[in-house]
Chain A
Amino acid sequence: MTASRGSPRRRIVAALITAAVLADVGVAVGAAVSGMGGSGADDAAAARLSAPGPRPSVLGLTAGEVARGAAGGLQDPQTAPPAVRSSAVPTRVIIPAISVDAPLEILARDAKGVLQPPTEWADAGWYAKGPVPGDTGAAVIAGHLDTTKRAAVFVSLRQLRPGDRIDVRLSDHRTVHFTVTSARVVKKALFPTSDVYGATPDPELRLITCSEPFDEVHGVYADNLVVFASLAH
């Protein structure tokens, strides 16, 4: 993961060091520690701090049991730290392949529940009731294709290809990197709500704009273009 979380991680590391110390003096370890609860490689590294390594045979265990990693009795479990959302907000979206470097507005729904687009043609916008980019879940960023007169921020979104990079800058000075995985042009009447706003097991990003054909009668584009991206590794 590129996103570092500062103090919670330090707390986990500290807890693991404490756990390792306690384990070494034979005291039962409390259940407030998770070595791998979803924070990636750094936590795996942290978990190693508590690894006792190969130990001499525990009294009362057969060689076979030792080979199978038997503990010789029940142990207290590690339990996960609570799931917490980042308090940062995304401030800019940068897409080098199509020369986008735009500020982000905060997007909300109207009284009917419909997501409102950014007010400025040159801005993109982040849907604030969805995940923060870099947190678990699919963050949603939308931007205009055009105004009545000119191209707008996401006019070239359709040129993105799998593997292209999308960076999102956050208010806490982090930059989260995503990689385009796919793109779909969808009828607005058949908008894939579940694929866009539904749960995902890891940090993802959706970029949305409009797509032809234009409905002259209603003055709106009939389709949306949705670009799907996952956290870059």
Chain B
Amino acid sequence: MIPSFRPLAAVIALLGALLVALLPAVPASAATPTGWVRVAHLSPDTKQVDVTLSSLSGDTVLYKLSSVGYGAVSPYIHLPVGTYAIAMVPAGAPTGTTPVVKASVAVTTGRAVTVAVMGLNKDLQTHVYTDVLGTVPSGKARVRVLQASTKHPTVTVKATSTTVASSAGFASISPYQNVQAGTVPVTLTAGAMTRTMNVPLPAGSVHTLFVLDTASGGLAVSAILDSWASAVTPTGSIDTGAGGLAGPADLGTLAAALAALAAVGAVGAGAELVRRRPADL
């Protein structure tokens, strides 16, 4: 017996086959895991330096910064997970110059670290600090203190009335604190010395307050942006679909969904879908 030609079934079969051919079986996979590293020059009596970041396996320079002065912090460098070598030479020094500082740093998945070169020139130290990412409560800013003064052994730092670091010693880093966002008066206290500066800390921003020396032996603070979250965090998920393409729960593919749609006469939706999907994909 010769089956009769049924246009609707043909359309269903054709569109179904098309969709199966066009739709990948798995959702997009993750690329190579990455993390972030940045470099800070926090030695008050060390002149500008040139910084290189290279792979530990081999001498390939991956990133270079020229003439990095005291207090400067590089942007975050986004890198595949792994261990990297960081070297600093005096600014403008010829290739092959023995580095003033050599350090290795591990970049781990989704983590951001700061490599800080600290202390007086005769006794340079390298410290690595890890940022905390994640959401920031609505209307708040997140702030922590890195005490890098070589002149003042302990420093207390308040943001408005919140004590962010209490008698912080050299090279110590405080936990992050949430403070009301806005222009925040930051007060540094070291012994009898007190200094207050207004620091803009916008909602959702995450900062490290670097406590630094000045040429005259005083204290300065530099608010360095670590990261930035949404100023207000939405609750839960988002409903971005009305089910026009959905298939029965036990048939998970769009092909099935389209077949179901076509069967109830909604072939237009399928045409729409196909039109929006170039054939070269």
Whether A associates with B in a native complex is: yes
A150 interface contact, C-beta 8 A: yes
Is there contact, CB below 8 Å, between A147 and B230?
A: no
B243 interface contact, C-beta 8 A: yes
Is there contact, CB below 8 Å, between A113 and B234?
A: yes
What size tier do the contact residues of chain A reach? 35 or more
Is there contact, CB below 8 Å, between B93 and A221?
A: no
Given A68-B100, A182-B29, A202-B78, A52 contacting B91 (CB threshold 8 A): yes
Is there contact, CB below 8 Å, between A181 and B30?
A: yes
In Å, the complex CA distance between A84 and B183 comes to 12
**Residues in A28-60 with C-beta less than 8 Å from chain B:** 28, 31, 34-40, 44, 47-48, 50-54
Is there contact, CB below 8 Å, between B281 and A159?
A: yes
What size tier do the contact residues of chain B reach? 35 or more
Name the contact of A145 in the complex, choosing from B28, B112, B240 (C-beta under 8 A): B240
Chain A, 194-230, contact with B by CB distance < 8 Å: what is the 0/1 string?
Answer: 1001111110000011101110100111001101001
A195 CB to nearest B CB, Å: 9
In Å, the complex CA distance between A188 and B235 comes to 11
Name the contact of A146 in the complex, choosing from B30, B242, B249 (C-beta under 8 A): B242
In Å, the complex CA distance between A219 and B223 comes to 48
Name the contact of B46 in the complex, choosing from A40, A71, A146, A209 (C-beta under 8 A): A71
Chain B, 178-213, contact with A by CB distance < 8 Å: what is the 0/1 string?
Answer: 000000000000000000000110101111001011
Given A75-B70, A137-B228, A162 contacting B28 (CB threshold 8 A): yes
**Residues in B231-251 with C-beta less than 8 Å from chain A:** 231-247, 249
Name the contact of B222 in the complex, choosing from A80, A98, A136 (C-beta under 8 A): A80
A67 / chain B contacts, CB cutoff of 8 Å: 90, 98, 100
B231 / chain A contacts, CB cutoff of 8 Å: 129-130
Name the contact of A197 in the complex, choosing from B98, B142, B230 (C-beta under 8 A): B230
A148 / chain B contacts, CB cutoff of 8 Å: 242-244
In Å, the complex CA distance between A116 and B236 comes to 11
In Å, the complex CA distance between A161 and B31 comes to 9
B83 interface contact, C-beta 8 A: no
A78 interface contact, C-beta 8 A: yes
Is there contact, CB below 8 Å, between A28 and B222?
A: no
A53 / chain B contacts, CB cutoff of 8 Å: 91-92
In Å, the complex CA distance between A148 and B242 comes to 5
Is there contact, CB below 8 Å, between A199 and B226?
A: yes
In Å, the complex CA distance between A198 and B229 comes to 5
Is there contact, CB below 8 Å, between B220 and A77?
A: yes
Is there contact, CB below 8 Å, between A214 and B68?
A: no
A74 interface contact, C-beta 8 A: yes
A5 CB to nearest B CB, Å: 13
**Residues in B261-281 with C-beta less than 8 Å from chain A:** 266, 268-269, 272-273, 276-278, 281
Is there contact, CB below 8 Å, between A36 and B241?
A: no
Chain A residue, CB-CB nearest to B112: A201
A90 interface contact, C-beta 8 A: no
B222 / chain A contacts, CB cutoff of 8 Å: 31, 34, 77-80
Extra pairs beyond A137-B228, A151-B272 (12, CB < 8 Å): A36-B75, A37-B73, A53-B91, A54-B92, A68-B121, A80-B73, A83-B207, A117-B239, A146-B241, A151-B244, A183-B29, A201-B133
16 contacts across the A-B interface (CB closer than 8 A) = A68-B121, A71-B121, A72-B45, A75-B45, A79-B223, A136-B228, A137-B230, A142-B240, A144-B240, A147-B242, A151-B269, A162-B30, A185-B27, A197-B233, A214-B243, A233-B78
